[in-house]
Amino acid sequence: MRKGTLLSVRKDIRVVDATIRDGGLCNNFEFSDEFVKELYKANIKAGIDYMEFGYKASKKLFNVNEFGKWKFCDEQDIRSIVGDNVSDMKISVMADVGRCDYKTDFLPASESVIDMVRVACYIHQIPAAVEMIEYLHDLGYETTCNIMAISQIGADNLREALEMLCETPVDIIYIVDSYGSLYPENIEKYSKMYLEYANKSNKQIGIHAHNNQNLAFANTIEALSYGVSYLDSTVQGMGRGAGNCASELLLGFLRNPKYSLYPLLTFIENYMVPLKESGVVWGYDLQYLFTGQLNRHPRSAIKFTNEKRKDYCDFYKDLLDDSVF
């Protein structure tokens, strides 16, 4: 059963802009303050519901001199862009299980401009994610759990993880197609499975898609049609490797008049076009199609891209060789 139609307004939909966070993986999080501030303003005008500013990464594990500041999302850095964020748009950050110091790096939510913390983990880290979610919930944050790389997880394990998350105060559970290997028919099955757990525990389901097979937008609207309501997008699909669902595709699709495409176009013209011209690269290309089809992490394809290689055949053959192991 689909929820709503192509014409109807789904009041439960929330669009989450992840441009700085996922896009930051393309340029080492080195965005100018002006870029981030203008994106913040454009997102507000466009009706975006959440803007994710980056990661809360551990400064013990990562050297602050080697990354732009949005890898760490210090409170004062976000505030320098948003002030007290007097807008309807909420602020989000992502924290990876095992790669953050959540017990020391988060203020109580009442003292922070951050509204939501997205906890990203692999399946074996679910118990650690549960602890983090409980801790952050107690601090007063909205929380999500983004279980990554589900295309490599058996349904039994995934169901067990969903069962465990249902027992926590987590607000939203995300379907994450890390490898861009899922087809819309897979998304239908995952959406129904996740919603089965969400509906019985009063949680919402989100989707974070990757564009390795040019399906990020298609998979996002497939998921939403079944009732998934938190939709990740990035401007021009900017994100690691093949990138994500493009905000401009998604906003053009949604029928709620609160969403507006035009403010993003101004931002694209003034900031994204120069960013691309400066040499930052992301988006669908053959090498990502290969890793997506083979259900593999895109790291080798990213390396192929960075080396400006065009020998697709050799790359493909190497991938097939690797698949033996």
Binding site for a second copy (CB under 8 A): 2, 5-6, 183-186, 213-219, 221-222, 225, 236, 246, 248-249, 252-253, 261-262, 265-266, 268-269, 273, 286, 289, 293, 310-313, 316
Show contacts of 311-319: CB within 8 Å, 24+ apart: 312/286, 312/287, 315/287, 315/290, 316/290, 319/290, 319/291, 319/294
SS3 247: helix
Minimum separation from the CB atom of position 248 to a second copy (A)? 6
Nearer to a second copy, 18 or 97 (CB): 18
Nearer to a second copy, 170 or 319 (CB): 319
Nearer to a second copy, 59 or 276 (CB): 276
Distances (CA, A) of 253 to 47, 109, 175, 223: 14, 33, 20, 13
Q: Is residue 282 within 8 Å of 241, Cβ to Cβ? A: yes
Separation CA 12–CA 2 (nearest Å)? 14
Minimum separation from the CB atom of position 135 to a second copy (A)? 39
Nearer to a second copy, 68 or 237 (CB): 237
Separation CA 131–CA 187 (nearest Å)? 28
Nearer to a second copy, 62 or 253 (CB): 253
Report phi then psi at 50, rounded to 5.
Answer: -135, 145
Minimum separation from the CB atom of position 266 to a second copy (A)? 6
Q: Which two tokens stand for residue 263?
A: 């403010």
Minimum separation from the CB atom of position 191 to a second copy (A)? 14
Minimum separation from the CB atom of position 116 to a second copy (A)? 28
Distance of CA 187 to the CA centre of its chain: 16
Nearer to a second copy, 67 or 183 (CB): 183
Element housing 165 (H / E): helix 155-166
Minimum separation from the CB atom of position 316 to a second copy (A)? 6
Report phi then psi at 176, rounded to 5.
Answer: -120, 115
Q: Is residue 245 within 8 Å of 180, Cβ to Cβ? A: no
Report phi then psi at 101, rounded to 5.
Answer: -115, 70
Nearer to a second copy, 62 or 316 (CB): 316
Minimum separation from the CB atom of position 207 to a second copy (A)? 14
